[in-house]
Amino acid sequence: MIKFYSSLILFILALTSCSKSYKVTGVSSVSSLDGKMLYLKTSHNGQWVTVDSAEVIHGEFSMKGSLDSVQLVSLFMDDENIMPMVLEGGNIEISISNTKLTVKGTPLNDKLYAFVDKKASMDTRVEELGRKEAKMILDGVDPEVIKKQMAKESDKLMTEMNAYVKSFICENYENVLGPGVFMMMCSNFPYPLMTPAMEDIVKSSPNCFKNNPLIKEYVTKAHENMQSIQEYQIMQHNAEQQASMVSRPAASAN
């Protein structure tokens, strides 16, 4: 019986060890990557910290190691951020070509790149609207008709896109994908800001999301910036009103 329990403990420890180990294998059809060093980096206190690295040799590279926790990382070539991925236990497969970057093989990476693919498809539909508008202009369609139709189609597509991004973040509040995709959205702004959709995402989130250090810092800075913008707008409005009041007597005297 003692021998049985000893074997069971060793088996459980082996499973625990495997669950915390990762292996990354990558292939690249981009010839310029050969001989280059690739790095897995994670953001820590506003700085990129290297987690692992590998050299690309004949279009292939590999990395392996152990993890204390699942991390959202980025694959870098030198200082260039190539692609996001999740560093989690299991065999992670990366494919790099001139037209597409993919990561698969583990649950969160499969989920992340299903999201990336669908979001890219929606972005393509937005670009197609521009081409459609140009064609309508060349075909001599009335400008007012074009304006109304483009506004309607654009609003519909943006509503669909925002709903999809929100639902993905909400479904992944409690793992690294929720905060990670939220921060990707934030990177579209020149400085921290909060849209109504983003406010809604944070408001309905659990504490584990709200208290994520990156989310907490971003939301705090965004609210400070928005408060400053609002105060500036009020000052500007008051200044314009005062200028208008000063100019009225002069205009009346003339």
Q: Distance of alpha carbon 28 from its chain centroid, rounded? A: 23
The domain limits of the chain are 21-105, 110-234
Strand partners, 77: 38, 80
For 80-89, write each residue's pLDDT tens digit. 999 999 999 9
Which of 63, 64, 67, 51 is CA-nearest to residue 17? Answer: 67
Which of 82, 86, 95 is CA-nearest to residue 22? Answer: 86
The SS3 of residue 157 is helix
pLDDT of the residue at 253: 53
User: pTM of this prediction?
Assistant: 0.79
For 138-151, write each residue's pLDDT tens digit. 999 999 999 999 99
Per-residue confidence of the chain (254 residues) as pLDDT tens digits? 444 344 433 333 344 444 579 999 999 999 889 999 999 999 877 789 999 999 999 999 999 999 888 999 999 998 899 999 999 999 999 999 998 999 999 999 999 999 999 999 999 999 999 999 999 999 999 999 999 999 999 999 999 999 999 999 999 999 999 999 999 888 888 999 999 989 999 999 999 999 998 899 999 999 999 889 888 888 887 887 887 777 665 555 55
Query: How many other C-beta atoms can be found within 10 angstroms of the C-beta atom of residue 178?
Result: 23
Q: Which CATH fold would you assign to the domain 21-105?
A: Immunoglobulin-like (2.60.40)
DSSP state string for 203-251: HTS-HHHHT-HHHHHHHHHHHHHHHHHHHHHHHHHHHHHHHHHHHHHHH
pLDDT of the residue at 235: 84
Write the CB contacts of 55 (distance below 8 Å, at least 6 apart in sequence): 35, 36, 37, 38, 61
Residue 91 phi/psi, 5-degree rounding, is -100, 115
pLDDT of the residue at 241: 80
What ranges in 20-142 are assigned the alpha helix state H? 107-138
Given the structure tokens 């951020």, which residue do they identify? 81
